Amino acid sequence: MTSRTPPGPILAATDFSGPSRHAADRAARLAHETGAALTLLHVLPGGALQELREWLGASHPMEQQLHDEADRQLGAWAAELQTSRRVNIRAVKSTGSPLVEIDRECEELNASLLVVGARGSGFLRQLVLGSTSERLLRRTKRAVLVVRHKPHEAYRHVLVALDFSPWSAHAIALARRVAPHARLLLFNAYQVPFESKLRYAGVDPATIDHYRKQARADALQRVLSLAASSGLKPGDWDPCIVEGEASQALLEQEQEQDCDLVVLGKHGRSVTEDMLLGSVSKHVLAEGSTDVLVSTARDA
């Protein structure tokens, strides 16, 4: 038996909120399952600290108290996870812009995965739900796992959204790396191009239905080809080809198929589709109910 090379390091960012605790727990589980190195990072926002100095003075003991409390909480979390998940954890505290500090730590570690909670109480709330999340996804070269729920087991049912752009093969590879024992649902949403205009132009329903069937058949064939080129075995995956608008169809399938992870990519086939896919990612992050893994690479 050949030994498997452990994946690259994992970075989990925490603001000590409940959601970020779930994220740290999932990161520790993944590190234990895959043998990856794990770093737990907390950032004290530099802007807030500067305001504190302006209000209370540069030598006020409150700033040191904040640092000491962050060190205490970070150390306690790391020790708890090391014991419960049987994994070594490197704890890091930094000060500055959370976006800059997270990105810097990712680069220094050459992290293969950044893990954050879906809704933090501090800087991570803006990081995941606000404009900062878009800046992070545009800036980072790392896959980003957004965790919504307390993890109870390894991922089992993973919905991988495909648009057949260059990142699609990487999305499948990433899903297999993060959820090696999961069954994959390879999802694609198709639509008849300009259907409303065809109807307006008087194209008969039978012809439009023919186009619909052809669009579905084409999508299925491309999914089959992509699965084969990705090395998936028949028992490892199922096709999930649906008609409709991508973001809404994705959310519906997430629920119907009882998925515990959705994998998306931030790149489309063109600048316009990059914008569309960004809106799909944003919609799924805001409205979905399961963990979301965002691929950031075009190649497998």
In angstroms, the CA 290 to CA 148 distance is: 6
In angstroms, the CA 93 to CA 13 distance is: 10
Q: Would 220 be classed as within a structural domain?
A: yes
Q: Looking at residue 266, what is its pLDDT?
A: 65
User: How many Cα atoms within 13 Å fall on the side-chain side of residue 28?
Assistant: 27
More confident: 269 or 173: 173
SS3 label, residue 262: strand
Q: Which two tokens stand for residue 68?
A: 């000491």
pLDDT class of 47 with cuts at 50, 70, 90: low
SS3 label, residue 143: strand
Q: Name the domain boundary from 113, 147, 181.
A: 147
Q: Which uninterrupted H or E stretch holds 85?
A: helix 61-85
In angstroms, the CA 58 to CA 149 distance is: 40
Q: Name the domain boundary from 121, 147, 173.
A: 147
Instruction: Note whether 113 and 42 are same-domain residues.
Output: yes
pLDDT above 50: residue 73: yes
Instruction: Note whether 109 and 178 are same-domain residues.
Output: no
Q: Name the domain boundary from 86, 117, 147.
A: 147
CATH number where 98 lies:
3.40.50.620
Check residue 235 and report its DSSP letter: G
Bridge partner list, 107: none
pLDDT tens digits, 1-16: 333 455 789 999 988 8
pLDDT class of 277 with cuts at 50, 70, 90: very low
Backbone angles phi and psi of 222, in degrees to 5: -70, -35
Domain span at 205? 157-295
When pLDDT is averaged across residues 146-159 and rounded to a whole number, the result is: 92
Domain count, the chain: 2
Report the mean per-residue pLDDT for the chain.
Answer: 81
Q: Which residue shows structure tokens 């980072």? A: 140
Instruction: Note whether 258 and 238 are same-domain residues.
Output: yes
